[in-house]
Chain A
Amino acid sequence: MSETKKFLFVNRKAPYGTIYAWESLEVVLISAAFEQDVSLAFLDDGVFQLVKGQDTSGIGMKNFSPTYAALGDYEITKIYVEKESLEERGLTLDDLQHLVWEDEDEDYAEKDSIRLVSRAELGDVMAGQDVLFNF
């Protein structure tokens, strides 16, 4: 039987201009079936992926942003967002989707999935992982 590894999916690119954001999410969803310890990191332009209110009707592309809200159902509860990247881009947590997960150990209490971290703290998170995925 395989061991459980800590997987970190690193997201640094904005959505829609390229396919990386979406195709990275597809790997995240599949990884849930493998029962590993999965976390996501959003930094640099990756933070734009989480911005709420995306309307893609004018560009004729599928709006995949609702998928982030579903991550909690896939037991992905650790979504690290880098503070410096938000600040550089004039964003606050309020601009992002409110992502939550339900803790079945606490009567399905709703908890925040997004953890705001500094660049240095994100470095610590990375150091503690086993496998780093980049797209």
Chain B
Amino acid sequence: MSILHLVNKSPYENSNLDTASSIMKSDDMLLLIEDGVYGAVKSGKASAMLAGRKVTALGPDLAARGISVDKLADDIEVIDYAGFVDLVETNDKVQSWL
């Protein structure tokens, strides 16, 4: 019974990523989309928040923002919209942190 958590805002803008990462369980998945992908950058504010959690980031949103894959924190998987759909299917429900 795992949750797919969606975060679409930068960790510098508000505390959505902070709340999501602190409430998620070990089986849950976090997907960063839209401005949320700024949280995926290595040694940013979010690294401590994301450590030890299952985190993915939407490739098209990274590319749009000029964030190359080498700039990402370790263990973040980059996926596309098809992968996003798969995550919705394989997790039990979706929590959009708005």
Contacts and interface: CB of A to CB of B under 8 A. Distances in A.
Chains A and B in contact, CB within 8 Å:
yes
Interface of A: 10, 12, 20, 43-44, 119-120, 122-123, 126-132, 134-135
Majority secondary structure, B binding face: mixed
Contact of B98 (A128, A129, A134): A134
A131 B92 CA distance: 9
Contact of B23 (A20, A126, A129): A126
Given A12-B98, A127-B3, A132 B93 contact: yes
B22 A132 contact: no
B19 A127 contact: no
A10 B95 contact: yes
B96 A134 contact: yes
Contacts of B22: 119
B95 A126 contact: yes
B11 to A, nearest CB: 14
A44 B23 contact: no
A129 B93 CA distance: 8
A127 B19 CA distance: 15
A44 B19 contact: yes
A92 to B, nearest CB: 21
A85 to B, nearest CB: 9
B42 interface: no
Contacts of A131: 93
Contacts of B15: 44
A127 B2 CA distance: 7
Contacts of B1: 127-128
Interface in B10-30: 15, 19, 22-25
A38 to B, nearest CB: 15
Contacts of A135: 98
Contacts of A129: 93
A123 B22 CA distance: 9
A135 to B, nearest CB: 7
